[in-house]
Structure 1
Amino acid sequence: MFKIRTRRAALAGVALAASSALVLTGCSGGGSEPAAEFDPDEEVTLDLAFWGNDVRAEMYDEAIAAFNEEYPNITVNTQFLGFPEFWEKRQTEAAGGGLPDVMQFDYSYLRQYSENGLLLDLTPYLGNIIDTEPLSENILQIGVVGDETTGIPTSTNAWGMYTNPALLEQVGVEEFPGGTWEDYNDWMAEVTDAAEAAGVELWGGTDWTGRIQNFEIQQRAAGEDLFTPEGEPNFTEEDLADFWSQGDEIRTDGSVIGQQRLEEVFPLSGFDSALTASELTWDNFGAGYLGNLGEGYSELGLVAPPVTEEGAQDLYLKPSMLHSIAATTDHPEASATLLNYLVNAPEVGEAFGTNRGIPASETQLDGAELDPLGEQIAAYEESISDRLGDAPPVPIVGYGTLEEKFRQIGQELGYGTITVDEAVEQFFAEMDVVLNQ
């Protein structure tokens, strides 16, 4: 159901029609010559849209209440939906030229909306209305599409490795000490062998070649992102074949959990089913893992992924979400003022904590009260600072489709139903369709 929260004004009548089949069309942007400051006496009403639930809506209410103490002349009407419905609604609005003034935005949609001229270029507001001092250059670059900044991250996550200390203690194996991918394979085999000796159903991990992110960080270690800024593939069939071939041994020697066992516990993973001692994933997955593991598991380990090449900046901070402004807004300066508050204000950090991830802004992080897991994730992201490079170009349109195809091919490799050469052929065929549709 489409939910509306109105502060200081009632929002009359909302059309609920939404269709994911609509094609996004470009719109002429407002505010091409923005003022350096927002007039504090101007009475303005803005629409703010986000995905989430009632809990997040209450957090936004608290944040907007604090915002109105500083800007009592700006009325903010908030609208929220579940994630799929949110994007269906945005597509309908985009086709009709009526996007909300300010939007919570997902990274996977940023290129699509930006290249269609639907989002306001925030570059002229950076350093004046939008305070950039609390945001690192790496963070700011995340929201750049072409030569325009069309999104500002609210929070970040990074690729890492979760481990299960309770299970490792049970089988008498120490935490993964770090090292190469081969070292990681050896460690997983050690865990699996120790578990078998102890009569425990446990494996060291999962076949890591089934995740496109592991391919990505290996490519970045060689100095190449997966795709160029123009959206062209930046890897060859040989590169992909070499990557998938690294899993040949662990897929057959029993050191990682088998594909059939994973299917039996789906939709849980081997890790949050307490069947594997490690999992390579985004660091903001920790709370979900603890929730699924349930009673008896009160903490997780969080360490850096294996190293492909010493000294390489293979990791990067990915936005959990961003905030963007519609190109058609009638109030670009006021919208930028609201966006700045939602990204930087310590009061917003206090309202949200880690609900949106670890705050990207230093001032907002200072205002957030982190739970133990949040503190652990923040410490982890600080610990990998030497491995953090510039974020890759904004994902190509259709990246989600390719990520899912990569995962499906990984499953087939796990079952042994296709060869590496066949896997490469399938992926490149799918990529050709996505890039040329």
Structure 2
Amino acid sequence: MFTRNGRRRMLAAAAMTGAAALALTGCAGGGNEASAYDPDEEVTLNFTWWGNDDRAQRYQQLIDAFEEEHPNITIDGTFTDFPSYWEKRKTEAAGGGLPDVWQFSDSYLREYAEPGLLLDLGEVADYVDFDAFDDGLKQTGQLEGTQYSLPTGYSAWAVFLNDALIEQAGVEPYEGGTSYEEYDEWMASVTEATGGAVYGGTDMTQRIQTFENVLRARGDNLYTEDGELGFTEDQLRDFWNSGAAARDGVAIPQQKLEEISPISGFGANLTASEGSWSNFLGGYLADSGAESITLVAPPTDDPSGTDLYRQAGLQMAISADTEHPEAAAMWLDYVVNSEKAGEVFGTTLGFPASETKLAGTTLEGVDKQVADYLDSVADRIGDAPPVPVVGYGSLEQTFWDLGKSIGLGAITVDDAVDQFFSEAEVILG
């Protein structure tokens, strides 16, 4: 458990899955209608996030700084990995016990806001600086005009390269922005050069974000404005089949990834490249121990397209039932807006979304790398996609799980497509 003494405990994963748990709490909310805020009252706030040890250490620094400024407020913090995190939240939502403040994702905005599980931040506007965000980023936490969350920063999809492993393999670094086929060929050159001691990368078709980029390059999206899937079974089938070459000895075998989970192949120095969000740079450096990692543009089959976007998915939200809405808002504001947060986190929670947080960020080293990368792909940045459909987080996890099952040879692509659309039909109604 993270308190002033810095101790840590891991949250237990919950067994309950699916969006159905949230339906049980449709009448949630209203628990914050309290008396006037007393700035001297001793308050303890439950706060939780997903991430690795690097993120945990940074949050502890921020918690210590906040508690020093607000000695009457204690932040009781916990963290876990991403899948376990959302399973735990679903269980808490069904039981009415969500944390006071929690690291949030825009993928779940409809799922938690529509049943009344999130506090309308307009109710605590005196404690949160909304003006530090531009409208586009602020809107990523809005649903039908109501502000339910605020972004900590924004990222763009990138390919990470382990410079030392590539040099040891004796191959030229991947230049970025090529076709997907050329990227597969580059991965194959690394795997062949090392005899499989280091693989070129991971099967990119496991990630729904890669599929999203492919769709966006064609003018489509994962989902529509009215809450429907934005792609067909044939499009998904073609996408997963496109990874066959990578899965045939080029990319790291899925079984190896299962053995090292939750560390990624890239973090474990078993792959020379990996696709992920740009804010993962600090975490990858910490996990891998690499002296230097380069960020390059992900592959695309349409160099003139705008497949990328400013992803402000990592956000902060407050439970509608918190007993301390004002204190919770003060902590939320400190995370998303304070110069101290910019100093502590740099770009590891995304490139700072607010002007005040950016003012505290020294753009050098890793943080300057991320800033330079975002500048380098500016021409590929398009409009943000529609607000995610209810259940998108579950669909994202299903996509990933099915992609891993394909990699393990436990399921065919055709069966995976059938399973995905069957689950989507249930989740989307």
| Both structures adopt the same fold (TM-score exceeding 0.5) | yes
Distance 1:264 1:319, change over 3 A: same
Instruction: State yes or no: 1:78 paired with 2:75.
Output: yes
What secondary structure, in the 3-state scheme, does the structure 1 residue paired with 2:385 have?
Answer: coil
User: Which deviates further from its counterpart, 88-97 or 219-228?
Assistant: 88-97
CA shift, 1:90, in A, is 6.5
Distance 1:246 1:100, change over 3 A: closer
Superposition TM-score, scaled by structure 2 size = 0.78
**Contact between 1:24 and 1:91, CA under 8 Å: does it hold in 2?**
no
Structure number with bigger Rg: 1
**Contact between 2:58 and 2:345, CA under 8 Å: does it hold in 1?**
no
Mapped to 1, the partners of 2:350 and 2:419 lie a distance apart of 35
Counterpart mapping for 1:144-159 below 5 A? 144-159=142-157
CA shift, 1:378, in A, is 3.0
User: Which deviates further from its counterpart, 241-250 or 76-85?
Assistant: 76-85
CA shift, 1:226, in A, is 1.0
Equivalent residue, structure 1, for 2:59: 56
Instruction: State yes or no: 1:258 paired with 2:256.
Output: no
Counterpart mapping for 1:103-114 below 5 A? 103-114=102-113
Which runs of 5 or more residues in structure 1 are unaligned?
A: 6-17, 33-38
Which of 273, 276, 279 is 1:278 aligned to? 273
Which of 277, 286, 290 is 2:285 aligned to? 290
Counterpart mapping for 1:24-423 below 5 A? 24-27=25-28, 29=30, 48-51=45-48, 56-66=59-69, 68=70, 76-83=73-80, 102-122=101-121, 130-177=128-175, 178-193=177-192, 195-196=193-194, 201-252=197-248, 254-294=249-289, 297-319=290-312, 321-327=314-320, 339-353=332-346, 356-369=349-362, 372-416=365-409, 418-423=411-416
CA shift, 1:243, in A, is 1.1
Structure 2 counterpart of 1:287, one-letter code: G
How much is the aligned-residue C-alpha RMSD, in angstroms? 3.9
1:57-93 C-alpha deviation (Å, 9 max, x unpaired): 4422313544x5xxx9xx5343323348987886687
**Contact between 1:20 and 1:88, CA under 8 Å: does it hold in 2?**
yes
**Contact between 2:25 and 2:96, CA under 8 Å: does it hold in 1?**
no
**Contact between 1:141 and 1:390, CA under 8 Å: does it hold in 2?**
no
CA shift, 1:241, in A, is 1.5
Mapped to 1, the partners of 2:148 and 2:325 lie a distance apart of 13
Percent of counterpart pairs with the same letter?
45
Structure 2 counterpart of 1:62, one-letter code: A
Distance 1:387 1:149, change over 3 A: farther
CA shift, 1:230, in A, is 3.8
Structure 2 counterpart of 1:190, one-letter code: S
User: Which deviates further from its counterpart, 210-219 or 273-282?
Assistant: 273-282
**Contact between 2:62 and 2:340, CA under 8 Å: does it hold in 1?**
no
**Contact between 1:50 and 1:80, CA under 8 Å: does it hold in 2?**
yes
What secondary structure, in the 3-state scheme, does the structure 1 residue paired with 2:265 have?
Answer: coil
What secondary structure, in the 3-state scheme, does the structure 1 residue paired with 2:221 have?
Answer: coil
**Contact between 2:202 and 2:252, CA under 8 Å: does it hold in 1?**
yes
Distance 1:146 1:44, change over 3 A: farther
Structure 1 counterpart of 2:64, one-letter code: D
CA shift, 1:140, in A, is 1.4
What secondary structure, in the 3-state scheme, does the structure 2 residue paired with 1:223 have?
Answer: coil
Structure 2 counterpart of 1:205, one-letter code: G
CA shift, 1:291, in A, is 3.4
1:323-361 C-alpha deviation (Å, 9 max, x unpaired): 224445688677656644442222332354456444322
Distance 1:283 1:31, change over 3 A: same
Aligned residues: 407
User: Which deviates further from its counterpart, 136-145 or 231-240?
Assistant: 136-145
Mapped to 2, the partners of 1:348 and 1:415 lie a distance apart of 41
**Contact between 1:257 and 1:270, CA under 8 Å: does it hold in 2?**
yes
Distance 1:78 1:289, change over 3 A: closer
Structure 1 counterpart of 2:25, one-letter code: L
Mapped to 2, the partners of 1:266 and 1:389 lie a distance apart of 33
Which of 430, 434, 437 is 2:427 aligned to? 434
What secondary structure, in the 3-state scheme, does the structure 1 residue paired with 2:250 have?
Answer: coil
CA shift, 1:435, in A, is 2.6
Mapped to 2, the partners of 1:255 and 1:352 lie a distance apart of 35
Distance 1:117 1:188, change over 3 A: same
Mapped to 2, the partners of 1:328 and 1:414 lie a distance apart of 42
Distance 1:87 1:273, change over 3 A: closer
Superposition TM-score, scaled by structure 1 size = 0.77
